[in-house]
Amino acid sequence: MVFHLRMEFQLHPRLAAGGFELGRADGCRVLLKNQASFPWILIVPELADGIEDLHQLDEGRFAEVVGLVRRVSLFVADYFRPEKLNVGCIGNMVRQMHIHVVGRHSDDPAWPGTVWAYEGKSAYAPEAVEEIRVAAREYLGLE
C-alpha cells in the first residue's frame, strides 16, 4: 500500500500554535515546541489525511521519516546535550502524525515523569528561538 503526499498539506492548528517552525526536510515540517524547560522538537510528515502511525507508511517513506528522526535526535543530542532522549509517535490528542524528540535531564522539572503531563510553562525568548532555528537549519539542512 502506497500513501502519497497531500498537495495542500495543512498543519494541525494545535501543532502550529504550540511552537515555531524551524524548516522542512524530507517532506516533513520540523517544529520547536515552545517549552524551554525541555529541548523538544516535533517532526510532522506531510501526509495524506488518515495516516496516523509509522507502520502505515510504505517502506521508502518510512525510511525517509525515520532517517530524519535520527538526524533530529543527533541534533538535539549535540546541540542541547541532554542526559537522555525520548522519541515517540503518540498522537492520542492530535491524530495528525507527528514524532516527538525530547531531550531530558534528571534535574528538569518533569523528571522522571513525562513531559506531556508537566503543566508548567516556560516560553522561549525570541532570540533563543532564532539561535536554535539557525543551528537546526545548518545541522539538518532544513529549507
What are the tens digits of pLDDT across the range 60-118? Answer: 989 999 999 999 999 999 999 999 999 998 877 777 889 999 999 999 999 999 898 88
Tell me phi and psi for residue 69, to 5 degrees. Answer: -60, -45
Q: Does residue 91 belong to any structural domain of this protein? A: yes
**CATH number of the domain bearing residue 66:** 3.30.428.10
Kindly state whether residue 34 falls inside one of the protein's structural domains. yes
pLDDT at 1: 46
The answer as to whether 1 is a domain residue is no
**Residue 78 domain-assigned?**
yes
Domain count of the fold of the chain: 1
Looking at the domain assignment, is residue 86 inside a domain?
A: yes
35-58 tens-digit pLDDT: 999 999 999 999 877 788 888 888
How far is CA 50 from its chain centroid?
19
The H-or-E segment that residue 80 falls in is helix 59-80
Q: Which domain holds residue 51?
A: 13-140
